[in-house]
DNA sequence: AATGAAACCTGACAGC
DNA sequence: TGCTGTCAGGTTTCAT
């Protein structure tokens, strides 16, 4: 389901609602797929931890956790992190205990405030993991690739300019950039006037710089509108995003290009639907 | 090393 | 009503 703008929206919503709250207990479902760390390990890191901050790293939601020192006095110490990947259909809910438990709920955290934090994921492509942070201050969770919003044009150009793979595939490669997914790859390529099947190495530095600018612009616009809700995506408050109304190519196969009226084409690249205007993108 | 296809899951929707 | 096929915002694994 979610790419960078959707995960950013969810993480901001969660931070606003549960930062400062304390996790009292953890229930994890029977299905093993979503758990990347063992259930025991997840419960051990989460229980009795205070949620200091919720933020996005790539397409992951990171909960920074603290605990009071053993003697109960002094400042709370960094304790660990809860890492949530929403996969295609994952959702985070902040609920009251008696709110209806949705089918495919795989985790329920009881909070000191009396509310619950729930993870729901029908397709089970989502993943839950924890990282322990000991006193030696381990670095904590890091995305495999560059953060798209913070990347500089020069670095972006160098990252892509020698890859022979289609530029669309390269944009989806999380080891290069972490956070770009299918919708925003297509939308950025349209804005930059580049066909998705062009090999990255065939693009000029100028074209790559333009793509870099287009990508950052489209991601920022999408965040401002709360992300795209194309099927079932909702944020932590259960609200839909509105950026799908701004899509220029994604999901518009056969419809006229908003610039030149040429019908939008759909092809498969790297196993993913890819949409482009055959006239505007070369 | 790098590319592509298949696999992992469920649900929604179109067509018959 | 119900069956079949297709598609979905992602990632990992296996074969070439």
Residues A70 and A163 in one domain: no
Give the domain-ending residue among A103, A132, A161: A132
Residue A124 included in any domain: yes
One DSSP character per residue, A143-203 reads -SSB-GGG--HHHHHHHHTT--SBHHHHHH-TTTBSS--HHHHHHHHHHHT--TTSBGGGS
Q: Beta carbon of A163 within 7 Å of strand B?
A: yes
Q: How far is the CA of A271 from the C1' of B5 (A)?
A: 8
Least confident of A28-32, A216-220, A271-275: A28-32
Q: How far is the CA of A127 from the C1' of C12 (A)?
A: 12
With contact defined as beta carbons under 8 Å apart, do A115 and A38 qualify? no
Residue A140 included in any domain: no
Burial (CB count <10 Å: 0-12, 13-18, 19+), residue A77? middle
Return the nearest residue to B7, CA–C1': A125
Least confident of A50-54, A67-71, A80-84, A245-249: A67-71
Active site residues of A: 2-3, 59, 272
Sequence-ordered alpha helix ranges (H) in chain A: 4-18, 39-46, 153-160, 167-172, 182-192, 205-224
Task: Average the pLDDT over A83-100 and give the result.
Answer: 94
Tokens of A230: 């194309």
pTM of the model: 0.95
List, for residues A71-86, the tens digit of each pLDDT value: 777 788 989 999 999 9
- Expressed as residue numbers, the domain containing A172 is 148-276
Residue A237 clears pLDDT 80, i.e. is over it: no
Residues A111 and A165 in one domain: no
Q: What is the CATH number of the domain that holds A20?
A: 3.20.190.10
Q: How far is the CA of A195 from the C1' of C8 (A)?
A: 23
């Amino acid at each position: 389901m979610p790419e960078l703008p959707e995960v950013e929206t969810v993480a901001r919503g969660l931070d606003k609602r549960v930062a400062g709250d304390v996790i009292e207990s953890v229930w994890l479902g029977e299905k093993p797929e979503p758990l990347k760390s063992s259930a025991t390990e997840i419960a051990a890191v989460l229980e009795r931890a205070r949620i200091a901050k919720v933020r996005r790293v790539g397409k992951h939601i990171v909960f920074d956790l603290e605990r009071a020192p053993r003697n109960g006095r002094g400042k709370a110490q960094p304790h660990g992190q809860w890492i949530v990947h929403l996969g295609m259909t994952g959702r985070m809910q902040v609920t009251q205990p008696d709110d209806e438990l949705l089918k495919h709920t795989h985790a329920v955290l009881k909070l000191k405030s009396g509310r619950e934090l729930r993870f729901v994921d029908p397709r089970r492509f989502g993943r839950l993991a924890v990282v322990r942070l000991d006193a030696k201050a381990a670095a904590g969770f890091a995305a495999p690739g560059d953060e798209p919003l913070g990347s500089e044009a020069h670095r972006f150009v160098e990252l892509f300019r020698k890859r022979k793979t289609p530029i669309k595939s390269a944009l989806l490669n999380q080891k290069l950039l972490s956070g770009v997914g299918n919708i925003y790859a297509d939308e950025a390529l349209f804005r930059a006037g580049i066909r998705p099947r062009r090999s990255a190495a065939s693009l000029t530095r100028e074209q790559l710089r333009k793509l870099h600018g287009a990508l950052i612009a489209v991601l920022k616009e999408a965040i401002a509108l709360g992300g795209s809700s194309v099927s079932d995506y909702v944020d932590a408050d259960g609200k839909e995003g509105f950026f799908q109304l701004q899509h220029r190519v994604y999901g518009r196969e056969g419809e006229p290009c908003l610039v030149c009226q040429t019908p939008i084409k759909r092809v498969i690249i790297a196993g993913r639907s890819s949409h482009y205007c055959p006239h505007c993108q070369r």
